[in-house]
Amino acid sequence: MVAAAAAAAAGVEGNVEFIRARSDKREYRRVVLPNALECLLISDADTDKAAACMEVGVGSFSDPEGLEGLAHFLEHMLFYASEKYPGEQDYTKYITEHGGSCNAFTSSETTNFYFDVNVANFEEALDRFAQFFIKPLMSEDAVLREIKAVDSEHKKNLLSDGWRMYQLQKHLASKDHPYHKFSTGSWETLETKPKQRGLDIRQELLKFYENYSANLMHLVVYGKENLDCIQSCVDRLFSDIKNTDQRSFKCPGRPLSEEHLQLIVKAIPISEGDYLKISWPVTPDLHFYKEGPCRYLSHLIGHEGEGSIFHIIKELGWAMNLSAGEGSDSAEYSFFSISMRLTDAGHEHMEDIVGLVFKYIILLKENGIHEWIFDELVAINETEFHYQDKVHPISYVTDTVSTMRLFPPEEWLVGASLPSKYAPNRINMVLDELSAERVRILWKSKKFKGSTDSVEPWYSTAYSVENITPSTIKEWIQKAPTEKLHIPKPNIFIPKDLSLKEMLEKVKFPVILRKTPLSQLWYKPDTLFSTPKVHIIIDFHCPLSSHSPEAVVSTSLFVDLLEDYLNAYAYDARIAGLFYSIDRTSAGFQVSVGGYNDKMRILLDAIMKHISNFEVKPNRFCALKETAVKDYKNFNFCQPYSQASYYLSLILEDQKWPLFEKLEALSKLDSDTLAKFIPHLLSKTFLECYIHGNIEPNEATSIVQEIEDTIFNTPNSVFKSMHPSQYLIKRVIMLENELKCYYQIEGLNQKNENSSVVQYIQVHLDDALSNIKLQLFSLIASQPAFNQLRTVEQLGYIAGLSLRSDCGVCALEVVIQSTVKDPSHLDARVDAFFKMFESKIHELSDKDFKRNVESLIDSKLEKFKNLWEESHFYWGEIEAGTLKFDRVESEVALLRELRKEEFIEFFDQYIRVGAPQRKTVSVQVFGGKHLAEFKAAIAEVDPPKTYRITDIFGFKRSRPLYPSLKGGPGRITMD
């Protein structure tokens, strides 16, 4: 500590030799400012975005007694204004206008603030950011408005099972430990109760802000300039932060005493589905991060291959998933938890499942700790670290700052990700902590309705608590299934060959390498990232997948079963850095695999064989169908803005079946019917393939040839080729000029007080010139819309304007969710915003117009950070059928030529209220608080130039469709 203080006083940089990834070309420097602020400076000559993150060692655990949520409230308030930049929203406005984004979060012991911005605007953005910590204003007027915003955020969370169960676990902890507290705050905790006690909340806020001392802060700054330049800037902008030499928060030990262990907590969730969470307080891995005991145990207990806990309970039809690992919001305590989603049968066998978990823990103790397993994990972690993909600077700074408080400087870039010391005694120590004497079980199910006797005070979650003794658990162990538990076999997917292929041709865009009546192969070698990774997409175009609700749910269940069957085999691949997914698409299903190319073909071959030899297993069919039915029903409990977005998609898309029809079809589906449907589904198939990365053209071609042979060319294959005329395309309805359509409906869960509106303004089918004008408007209008609707008018925590694209049809969308006002009122306020903003567009100065154009150009020219980003862009063009691989270059060229008058004319033509080609739908979902307004709204006479949608499907049939951007396999391409 003395050395650190001396360094701080001198303001010198620390000469640190950082442990870093071999692939990392960035430069780093540790600096301690004279005020004791510790900084990590990062210079990246290739970056287009600059970013910064400040972590303050003050979080919700520091909330004063009776002022719950004060730390979170302070986080909100710092965004408003400062003495140097007194205009409200000066910070967020500047960031947004210059291609950036910003946010913050409050955790138990820290509060983190972060942003990114175009590199040319970094210093000015950083200056605004620094003022958060130097001289914020926290005006009286802003205080009241932001309490409403915090309360709106809390109301959004009230019916979220995630928040409810987290608070319930905190509630059942020592009352004198800060873990027990309610952390997010509400109108009650920040306005009503403080007033009753005679407290001035603003004064309490200013008093609490005094904890924000430079000696409790860590800053990461990521820029394009050299380190000396970045250091000079940081020194100038952040040295004025006061160091009041505050003591860092010291968590008072563990939050659970003996009375909080050996419990089963039965809780009633909002949504459908039964869940089980088995937890133990354990010594945090952070104390032994070189040994990684929890990492070793979570690898084994959370394994999904043969012999694992999950594989056995899955085969018995008791669970749908399982995860295991350590988690904590403090360095002083931690919990090791095993979480799973149960089936109805699993709910009945809860005791057997818990017994099986303890049986596996006993097995690990008796079997001993294995060095080869630890070595395998070391190899996997080292490869992952040294070949990590580059991420966006904003993600990098937020991830890195969290290590600065906890690790020595040389380990800031690596943190706990590289355990290297094999220490069986440490692993056994944590294993001993996973005992029957220390367990607590959270079991949530709607089946407990009527049998609970307690209510959690903040979220009103109904629950009951029962004691569970070690002798009871011993009985459960004895009657648990006798299936053979065993540790996993060595992982065959760990990559050995990480060499880079020699690419003779520097191909800029994807090219068609191969085309047959059965498939088409797009290929793009990795010319940017020099990484031993590959991304392969096999898109199965099956037109019989979407022609009815029955077809859609049958295709979905087929896809779910495929993933389910593959899980035990492919789990090792996931651990070793290969990912795969099988997803239903609007026209069939898609297989995507990615990661190290060395063992990729083994995984891909296994997936294709599973598809080719697919059979419906009745026991797994029943379990997955049961889960799918619950998931459909859970849509009723989604946030109202999500429900509004669903209704909008239902209105727009010509081939979208309503949820209740799909649920009805799923309820009637049986395993025999599905078994008959699959050959029918696959009897018309075309494969669109995309291979990108560290792979040579002949290998890419041979992969697709092998897939064709596996899928189509086996004696009993049900796969048949598809005629071009059968190519299925999804299209979007064309709304009518100068007509505002609206659809009003009650929310599906009337216990949710929130209402929502989504106002959708349809503009054009994908076209470069129209695209840039619409994007420019969104760039200019999004921050003012957020400011007006959320900050000034306080309509709701969720409020924003953004771009939307459906099958290439581009639009604007404004979303608001609110308990304060009903959706008709919210919709009127959206219109009022557009009317108010009309003058802003017409009065736009040449300077502001040019600045916004330059900002949009900078954002468009941002380079791909990794192979997956590049892949996503090119596959997006192929999937949409647009094939505009040079989209960025062509749109930037048009932006450079765009005149302000053209932009204003576009706004006047398509966007302003009353524009001759304005096409609008307003979807309004009325929550439980606004039922009277709903009844009044549906009784109103429609004003001129409006149309009330009462029958979505009748309305869709009455409208023309936009042309599709996508042809079939015979379409014109760029080859």
Spans of all domains in the chain: 27-239, 258-383+412-479, 511-726, 732-962
- Predicted pLDDT at 2: 30
pLDDT per residue as tens digits for the range 251-261:
898 999 999 99
pLDDT at 472: 98
User: Any idea which fold 732-962 has?
Assistant: Cytochrome Bc1 Complex; Chain A, domain 1 (3.30.830)
Taking residues 449-464, report their average pLDDT.
98
Cα–Cα distance, 409 to 123 (Å, whole number):
25
d(CA 857, CA 744): 39
Q: Identify any residues that bridge with 739 across adjacent strands, giving them in sequence order.
A: 919
Residue 683: pLDDT above 80?
Answer: yes
Residues 337, 277: Cα–Cα separation, whole Å: 7
Structure tokens at 762: 């349809």
What is residue 360's predicted lDDT score, i.e. its pLDDT? 98
Q: How far is CA 45 from CA 27, 222, 874, in A?
A: 9, 10, 25
Nearest to 357 by CA among 225, 477, 526: 477
Structure confidence at residue 13 (pLDDT)? 54
pLDDT (0 to 100) of residue 538? 98
pLDDT tens digits along 898-934: 999 999 999 999 999 999 999 999 999 999 999 999 9
Q: Residue 218: pLDDT above 60?
A: yes
pLDDT average, residue stretch 73-85: 95
**CATH-assigned architecture of domain 258-383+412-479:** 2-Layer Sandwich (3.30)
3-class state of residue 863 by DSSP: coil
What is the token pair recorded at 68? 């719950």
Mind giving me the DSSP string for 765-806? ES-HHHHHHHHHHHHHHHHHHHIIIIIIS---SEEEEEEEEE
Confidence (pTM): 0.94
Q: What is the DSSP letter of 721?
A: B
Phi, psi values for residue 914, rounded to 5°: 90, 5
DSSP string, 384-449: HHHTPPP--HHHHHHHHHHHHTTS-GGGTTTTTS------HHHHHHHHHHSSGGG-EEEEE-GGGT
Q: Give the residue from 573, 693, 558, 581 showing the smallest Cα distance to 628.
A: 558
Do 258-383+412-479 and 511-726 share a fold?
A: yes
Share of the chain above pLDDT 70, in %: 98
38, 55, 75, 877: the catalytic one is: 75
C-alpha neighbours within 13 Å on the C-beta side of residue 838: 15
Q: What is the pLDDT of residue 399?
A: 97
Active-site residue, selected from the candidate residues 68, 88, 97, 146: 146
Is the CA virtual torsion 220, 223, 226, 231 positive or negative? negative
Answer whether residue 122 shows pLDDT above 60.
Answer: yes
Mean pLDDT of 621-631: 97
* DSSP, res 300: H
Alpha helices in 524-669 (DSSP H): 549-575, 600-612, 618-633, 640-652, 659-668
- Mean pLDDT, residues 215-234: 98
**214 CB contacts (<8 Å, ≥6 apart)?**
33, 35, 36, 37, 133, 238, 241, 242, 243
- For the stretch 146-158, pLDDT in tens is 999 999 999 999 9
Work out the average pLDDT over 275-279: 98
SS3 716: coil
CATH tag for 27-239 (out of 3.40.50.720, 3.30.310.50, 3.40.50.300, 3.30.830.10): 3.30.830.10
13 is catalytic: no
For 798-852, write each residue's pLDDT tens digit.
Answer: 999 999 999 999 999 999 999 999 999 999 999 999 999 999 999 999 999 999 9
Q: What is the pLDDT of residues 699-718, one digit of tens each?
A: 999 999 999 999 999 888 99
What contacts 188, CB < 8 A, 6 or more positions away? none
So what's the pLDDT on residue 727?
83
State yes or no: is 382 an active-site residue.
no
Query: What's the mean pLDDT when you consider all of the chain?
Result: 95
Summarised one tens digit per residue, pLDDT across range 320-352 is 999 999 998 898 999 999 999 999 999 999 999
Of 221, 241, 191, 229, nearest to 78 by C-alpha is 241
Q: What is the pLDDT of residue 10?
A: 36
What number is the average pLDDT over the span 751-768? 96
From the list 646, 674, 648, the residue with the least C-alpha distance to 659 is: 646
CA distance 158 to 149: 14
Angle at 845 between CA 843 and CA 850, to 5 degrees: 135
b/e per residue, 815-847, with b = 16+ CB within 10 A?
A: bbbbbbbbbbbbbebbbebbeebbeebeebeee
- Please determine, for residue 7, whether its predicted confidence score (pLDDT) is greater than 50: no
pLDDT tens, position by position, 375-431: 999 999 999 999 999 999 999 999 999 999 999 999 999 999 999 999 999 999 999
| pLDDT surpasses 60 at 973 | no
Per CATH, the homologous superfamily of domain 511-726 is: Metalloenzyme, LuxS/M16 peptidase-like (3.30.830.10)
Q: Binning pLDDT at 50, 70 and 90, where does residue 967 land?
A: low
